[in-house]
Amino acid sequence: MSDDISQLTAKHTYGTWRAQRGWKPIHVTRAEGCAFWDASGKRYLDLSSQLICSNLGHQNQAVIDAICAQARDLAYISPAHTCEIRARVAQKLLEVMPKGLDKFFFATSGTEANEAAFKIARAYTGKHKIIARYTSYHGSTAGSVAATGDFRRWFIEPTGKIPGVIFGPEVNCYRCPLGRTSPECNLACADYLAYMIDHEENVAAILVEPIVGTNGVLVPPPEYLPRLAEHAKKRGVLLIADEVMSGWGRTGKWFAVDHWGVTPDILTTAKGITNAAVPLGVVATTRAIADYFEDNMFAHGHTYEAHPLTLAPAIAAIDEYRRLDLLNRSATMGELLGAKLRALKEKHPSIGDVRGLGLFWAVELVRDRETKEPFNTPQDKAARKPLVVEAVAAEMLKRGVSVLSWVSHLIVAPPLIITEEELDEGLAALDAALEIADQKVAGAAA
Ligand SMILES: Cc1ncc(COP(=O)(O)O)c(C=O)c1O
């Protein structure tokens, strides 16, 4: 039965961000807490919260109850009307959003939230260009993928993307794109973005993941985001914070920007807002932006926007983050996780760097610690070469631990409810699987 489901899925539905040949998805029959099970009954510890989105753990009861109750009460009403849940979610978001963001557009994914944010920024400023950074992911549609710095954009370029997005350097203190070293660099990467604005003109917004997610959990130095916000403000350019992955307790705060006291002009989010149980994306804007649209057309919308079924679990999820004290838990368990990962780095020569904040960590693998030569590059991934990091993740999966791998790093970002015993179970599998990479480091005995 399991093979049937997997084969039928692969034959008649598209597996995304991959060539279709060879796709054999795991048929998942059950998920609960920090684990899921396949059709054979095998259990997998979920060390990456699926796509860093099941922050409350699988099948959170309060979230599910909220969806069911809303389905019975009012499953759909046109976004031109309103219903109680829409107003209540807005009210609830005011409690957790950075102060000053108080008007919301409800989309159905992070991709769409970013798409809407670009339109809003361009309409509000009357300017066209958007500056994003190379090491980033912002979504898969024509706008959001145009702003995506990583290799997924390369595949879209022949098929079309929006014009007007340009790329600047990311903040990556392990592999500085400017070849500098922190703190002597004095945040040259932030200042270079200001230089870009000054020389480009016609810039509507700078778009950043405050902590870059998929592309390596890049935590900036504390002065980075405040500096960037200041540069943008001084130049009349909006700062858009994409908190699709970094929001909702993942880093130990509601949003990553909260670590540095920065209120962006626009914040986009999705994923953990509903524990990913239903598709909800949010664009949060300042009152100044909201005021602009009082007498100007808000030229955006779709049938499923502000969909009651997607909104209802947001309130339940926020209540659950609070009831389970998950922001504090993410911070304290995150410190523990960081310490354990650093201990693994001592043991495994294939680990070049471990970095993270809260329960959001990357383990970057290298062939050579001295030169930081990676095992694989985005070009390798794009060319579908076998990747060392994928071999490590496959070995972990064999051992019953699911982890997200990307080019040359693993992302350890478990549900925020994870226990220390579960962490140890996951890290034991990582410890064992890293032998595969250790054998390939420069100078390792054959
Ligand atoms: C930072 C960031 N922005 C946007 C997206 C796109 O969100 P979605 O997959 O919900 O469209 C993602 C997805 O992983 C993301 O990590």
Give percent above pLDDT 70 in the chain: 99
Does the structure show a pLDDT above 90 at 121? yes
Residue identified by tokens 């993928």 is 145
Q: Please compute, for residue 78, the number of CA atoms within 13 A of its CA located in the half-sphere on the CB side.
A: 2
Task: Say how far apart CA 308 and CA 311 lie, in whole Å.
Answer: 5
User: Predicted confidence band at 127 (pLDDT cuts at 50, 70, 90)?
Assistant: very high
Rounded to the nearest angstrom, the distance between the alpha carbon of 271 and the centre of ligand 1 is 8
CB 266 within 8 A of CB 114: no
Task: Say how far apart CA 188 and CA 171 lie, in whole Å.
Answer: 9
User: Predicted confidence band at 446 (pLDDT cuts at 50, 70, 90)?
Assistant: low
* Burial degree of 152 (CB within 10 A; 0-12, 13-18, 19+): middle
Residue identified by tokens 């409810």 is 417
User: Predicted confidence band at 62 (pLDDT cuts at 50, 70, 90)?
Assistant: very high
Cα-based distances in Å from 397 to 10, 369, 376, 385, 405: 20, 26, 20, 20, 11
User: Predicted confidence band at 126 (pLDDT cuts at 50, 70, 90)?
Assistant: very high
Pocket test for ligand 1, best of 153, 255, 271, 360 (most atoms within 8 A of CB): 271
Residue 444's pLDDT is: 84
Cα-based distances in Å from 390 to 202, 207, 402, 436, 444: 42, 30, 11, 10, 20
Write out the DSSP string of 396-421: HHHTTEE-EEETTEEEE---TT--HH
Residue 2's pLDDT is: 59
Rounded to the nearest angstrom, the distance between the alpha carbon of 307 and the centre of ligand 1 is 19
Structure tokens at 294: 């009082």
User: Predicted confidence band at 160 (pLDDT cuts at 50, 70, 90)?
Assistant: confident
Rounded to the nearest angstrom, the distance between the alpha carbon of 41 and the centre of ligand 1 is 30
Does the structure show a pLDDT above 60 at 268? yes
Residue 209 CA: nearest ligand 1 atom is: 1
Structure tokens at 157: 């370029």
Rounded to the nearest angstrom, the distance between the alpha carbon of 186 and the centre of ligand 1 is 30
CB 132 within 8 A of CB 193: no
User: If DSSP codes are grouped into helix, strand and coil, which group holds residue 201?
Assistant: coil
Pocket test for ligand 1, best of 244, 255, 310, 360 (most atoms within 8 A of CB): 244
User: Predicted confidence band at 1 (pLDDT cuts at 50, 70, 90)?
Assistant: low
Rounded to the nearest angstrom, the distance between the alpha carbon of 80 and the centre of ligand 1 is 27
For residue 63, give every residue at least 6 positions away whose Cβ sits within 8 Å of its Cβ, in sequence order, or none: 56, 274, 275, 277, 313, 316, 317, 320
* Burial degree of 172 (CB within 10 A; 0-12, 13-18, 19+): buried
- The one-character DSSP state at 129 is E
Residue 246 CA: nearest ligand 1 atom is: 1
Residues near ligand 1 with C-beta < 6 Å?
A: 51, 109-111, 114, 137-139, 209, 213-214, 242, 244-245, 270
Rounded to the nearest angstrom, the distance between the alpha carbon of 140 and the centre of ligand 1 is 8
Angle (CA) 122 105 253, round 5° = 100
Structure tokens at 424: 């140890």
Does the structure show a pLDDT above 80 at 270? yes
Residue 443's pLDDT is: 85
Per-residue model confidence as pLDDT tens digits over 423-432: 999 999 999 9
Q: Which of 22-31, 37-46, 153-162, 273-282 has the weakest average pLDDT?
A: 153-162
Q: Which amino acid is at 4?
A: D
Per-residue model confidence as pLDDT tens digits over 308-362: 999 999 999 999 999 999 999 999 999 999 999 999 999 999 999 999 999 999 9
Residue 437's pLDDT is: 98
Per-residue model confidence as pLDDT tens digits over 73-110: 999 999 999 999 999 999 999 999 999 999 999 999 99
Task: Say how far apart CA 178 and CA 193 lie, in whole Å.
Answer: 12
- What is the model's pTM? 0.97
- Look over the chain and give the mean of its residue pLDDT values, rounded to a whole number: 97
**pLDDT (mean) for 167-195:** 98
User: Predicted confidence band at 199 (pLDDT cuts at 50, 70, 90)?
Assistant: very high
**pLDDT (mean) for 52-56:** 98
Nearest to 268 by CA among 116, 377, 418: 116
Write out the DSSP string of 254-317: SSGGGGGT---SEEEE-GGGGTTSS--EEEEEEHHHHHHTTSS------TTTT-HHHHHHHHHH
